[in-house]
Amino acid sequence: MALVKIVLVLTFVALARAEQNLVAHIEHRNSTNSSMRNDDYIDAQRRQHAFNIWYYDVQINFFKDSYLDRVNAMEYQKDSLLDKVKTANEQLYPLTLLSDFSKVCVKKYQAIMPSREWVKYQMDICISEASMEVDWLASYMASTNNTLQTYYRTTFEKEVTACQTKYNSSMSANQTLCLADVVSTTNTFTYNNQKTFSTQLEAAKNSADMDIKTLHECSFAIQNTTLSKIAEANTRIDRCIHGADDCPSCHGHFCNDVSYMSSSSIDTKNATMYNPFYGRQEIGDCLMLSIF
Ligand SMILES: *[C@@H]1O[C@H](CO)[C@@H](O)[C@H](O)[C@H]1NC(C)=O
Ligand SMILES: *[C@@H]1O[C@H](CO)[C@@H](O)[C@H](O)[C@H]1NC(C)=O
Ligand SMILES: *[C@@H]1O[C@H](CO)[C@@H](O)[C@H](O)[C@H]1NC(C)=O
Ligand SMILES: *[C@@H]1O[C@H](CO)[C@@H](O)[C@H](O)[C@H]1NC(C)=O
Ligand SMILES: *[C@@H]1O[C@H](CO)[C@@H](O)[C@H](O)[C@H]1NC(C)=O
Ligand SMILES: *[C@@H]1O[C@H](CO)[C@@H](O)[C@H](O)[C@H]1NC(C)=O
Ligand SMILES: *[C@@H]1O[C@H](CO)[C@@H](O)[C@H](O)[C@H]1NC(C)=O
């Protein structure tokens, strides 16, 4: 899309150049019908003015679109964070099936994990605060655009009419000179307005960078909180399942190494049973059997 816009802009710049050459030709004041040529001259100016306004519009819209693209890129981070919350909750599900005890542990600490709704709500606040800035960011440029348009529509047109009234077709050479002055003044006004616009565009880009930085900080805080809380919930659930929860009577009966065994696989009449050490590299110094 940006490429198409640039090509369009180049085409218009080329057209504008051709138009200025035409204006230069018209300025030779030896024609038989100067009044008509003066009209062509002013029409060419008007087309140049329309181009100037159009080009402002392109630049403002391109600036806004680029800014909003950067803001909307945050949607991917939001989705990825929502996925992490979903996965974290899904990973707890098997633990709720494992045993009533592990189910109690999950129920006890799962609430520490932020909900998908909370994460979405918080991330949406970050994103919408950033996107709301877009009109403010472009407001100085929009006002410069309006100033130029107003100048073209009122001051320029008034002065053109004044030249045409002051010097009628019998004095077309004087009219041409008068119009040339108006055009020259308008071009100076345009040039200064465009310089202002460029400065404002640069400033807007800097402000946009700051707003994007704020957005990233806002989003980072949510991501950090979410991931920290998920880790905390997992740690607490894990400790709970391993009997190391804040339970005084459990102290001294905790192994990091836990082997899970279903009660159905236990046959009290059988002298042999499944060997939890089978295939291990390390025997370790403690192994807990968790029967479910
Ligand atoms: C206008 O100028 C051209 C050359 O520049 C000349 O050939 C032509 O005769 C001039 N016409 C008038 C009406 O003076
Ligand atoms: C000049 O051109 C205008 C517009 O085409 C026409 O109405 C007018 O008669 C022309 N004047 C002369 C002197 O050729
Ligand atoms: C620039 O000004 C023109 C004319 O007033 C207007 O149509 C256009 O919407 C303006 N563009 C922006 C981005 O404000
Ligand atoms: C041009 O204006 C002068 C006086 O200002 C007048 O005498 C003349 O008739 C006018 N010519 C036309 C074609 O309007
Ligand atoms: C029109 O231009 C001629 C030559 O430049 C000048 O002598 C004359 O005074 C001008 N007429 C008016 C009304 O300005
Ligand atoms: C991330 O969040 C945790 C828990 O809320 C907090 O302790 C930590 O300071 C945060 N880190 C940063 C860099 O904000
Ligand atoms: C005892 O348990 C082992 C391992 O689970 C099994 O292979 C074996 O068949 C069982 N013996 C009897 C008599 O059920």
Give the Cα separation of 182 and 157 in Å (integer): 9
For the entire predicted model, the pTM comes to 0.66
Residues in contact with ligand 6 by the CB-under-6-Å rule are 224-225, 228
What's 169's DSSP letter?
G
Query: What local confidence, expressed as pLDDT, does residue 283 receive?
Result: 82
pLDDT at 56 over 60: yes
pLDDT at 81 over 50: yes
173 lines ligand 1 (CB under 6 A): no
Least confident interval from 20-24, 96-100, 205-209, 223-227: 20-24
How many angstroms from the chain centroid is the CA of residue 125? 13
Tracing tokens 């138009």 back to the chain, one arrives at 19
Residue nearest to atom 6 of ligand 1 (CA): 30
Distances (CA, A) of 207 to 16, 39, 212: 32, 44, 9
pLDDT at 167 over 60: yes
Residue nearest to atom 10 of ligand 1 (CA): 30
Atom of ligand 2 nearest to the CA of 39: 4
Tracing tokens 């345009």 back to the chain, one arrives at 190
Tokens of 215: 């957005």
Burial zone of 212 (CB within 10 Å; 0-12 exposed, 13-18 middle, 19+ buried): middle
Give the Cα separation of 9 and 174 in Å (integer): 36
Residue nearest to atom 5 of ligand 2 (CA): 36
Most informative mutation of 30, 32, 34 for ligand 1 (most atoms within 8 A of CB): 30
User: If we measure between CA atoms, which residue out of 2, 270, 35, 271 comes closest to residue 175?
Assistant: 35
Least confident interval from 28-42, 128-142, 164-178, 272-286: 28-42
241-287 residue pLDDT tens = 887 665 454 445 566 677 777 778 888 888 888 888 888 888 887 77
Tracing tokens 């919930």 back to the chain, one arrives at 233
User: If we measure between CA atoms, which residue out of 88, 86, 106 comes closest to residue 96?
Assistant: 106
Ligand nearest to the CA of 227: 6
Residue nearest to atom 11 of ligand 7 (CA): 270
pLDDT at 151 over 60: yes
32 lines ligand 1 (CB under 6 A): yes
